[in-house]
Amino acid sequence: MKGKTIKPGKQRKRLFQAAYHARGKILSAHLSADLRKNYNTRSLPVRRGDTVRVLRGDYKGVEGKIVRVDRKKYRIFIEGITRQKSDGTTIFVPIHPSKVEIIRLNLDDKFRKRILERRLFIEEPKKLEEPISEG
């Protein structure tokens, strides 16, 4: 999703035609306040195993682990958020990741740990040394 465009139609087109590997980054959610302080970053792509809290909709306030991430439809499925179909089968309710907040990270993946470490070191403001005055 490179390049700049303001037109909403073009933005939607880019969203719907995004490559599979680029969709993972689009599927991001905000971190909770304490995680934001710890990791010095505002949001991260969601992963299976993360614990999230729903902030909007019918399931507001519900917390649970992410069971599945659907990159094709841009939705996540959370443990405990289910619905009964008319034939009696239970299905997970799809939720958009912008409507949830990550409250516990799944750090089993070494690549994700590396991303967080990199962000911690880069985003800290660097102090400028005072120039030495002559005379």
| pTM, full prediction | 0.82
Helical H runs in 5-72?
A: 8-16, 20-26, 33-39
CATH number of the structural domain spanning residue 61: 2.30.30.30
Please say if the pLDDT value at position 110 is more than 80: yes
- Domain coverage including residue 96: 14-123
The model's confidence at residue 121, banded by pLDDT at 50, 70 and 90, is confident
What is the Cα–Cα distance from 37 to 113, expressed in whole angstroms?
16
pLDDT tens digits, residue range 63-77?
Answer: 999 999 999 999 999
In a domain, 132, yes or no: no
In a domain, 128, yes or no: no
Using DSSP bridges, classify how beta strands 100-104 and 28-31 pair: parallel, antiparallel or unpaired. Answer: parallel
Average pLDDT over residues 44-52: 96
In a domain, 4, yes or no: no
In a domain, 76, yes or no: yes
pLDDT at residue 128, as a whole number? 59
The model's confidence at residue 2, banded by pLDDT at 50, 70 and 90, is low
pLDDT at residue 82, as a whole number? 96
Count other Cβ atoms within 10 Å, centred on residue 92.
17
pLDDT at residue 1, as a whole number? 58
In a domain, 130, yes or no: no
Nearest Cα residue to 100 out of 35, 43, 49: 43
pLDDT at residue 92, as a whole number? 97
- The single-letter DSSP state of residue 65 is E
Please say if the pLDDT value at position 126 is more than 60: no
In a domain, 90, yes or no: yes
In a domain, 26, yes or no: yes
Average pLDDT over residues 81-87: 96
In a domain, 107, yes or no: yes
Domains: count for the chain? 1
